[in-house]
Amino acid sequence: MTATASTALDEVTEAGTSATQTWIFGVDAVQAIKENVDIFGGTEVTLEDASAGTDVTVDTTMGVAWKLNPWVTWSASYDATWFDGVGNDGDYREHRVSAGIELRP
């Protein structure tokens, strides 16, 4: 399990405009359920202080990885993003399902 926290101050090029502050908090976990099968998941929350208010983004992921042998891993995951902007116009939800094969030399 890994927990992260970071902050950033993004510069601006327009006089009289304050810099954008960003705070990011996250947690990720991987659990071996068998010798060659891992399940994983995590979430990350981003708070971005724009001039009009605070935008909130929540990213989540969960999935499974199956190691067929030391060189080949199959994986599948579900990822979701929720964005809540200051105004109602920019809000969105995004969902992704991914599958992949990892080959190692």
Q: What was the pLDDT predicted at 68?
A: 95
The helix/strand/coil state of 6 is: strand
28: pLDDT confidence band, cut at 50, 70 and 90?
very high
Whether the predicted pLDDT of 104 surpasses 70: yes
Average of pLDDT values for 42-54? 88
Average pLDDT over residues 56-65: 97
- Does residue 4 come out as left (phi exceeding 0), alpha (psi in the -120 to 50 range) or beta? beta
Q: What's the rounded Cα separation, in Å, for the pair 99 and 11? A: 37
Architecture of domain 31-103: Single Sheet (2.20)
Residue 10: pLDDT over 70: yes
Spatial CA neighbour of 92 closest among 51, 40, 55 = 55
Q: Which of 14-23, 40-49, 68-77 has the lowest mean pLDDT?
A: 14-23
- Kindly give the pairing relationship between strand 2-10 and strand 53-69: unpaired
User: Considering the entire predicted model, what is its pTM?
Assistant: 0.79
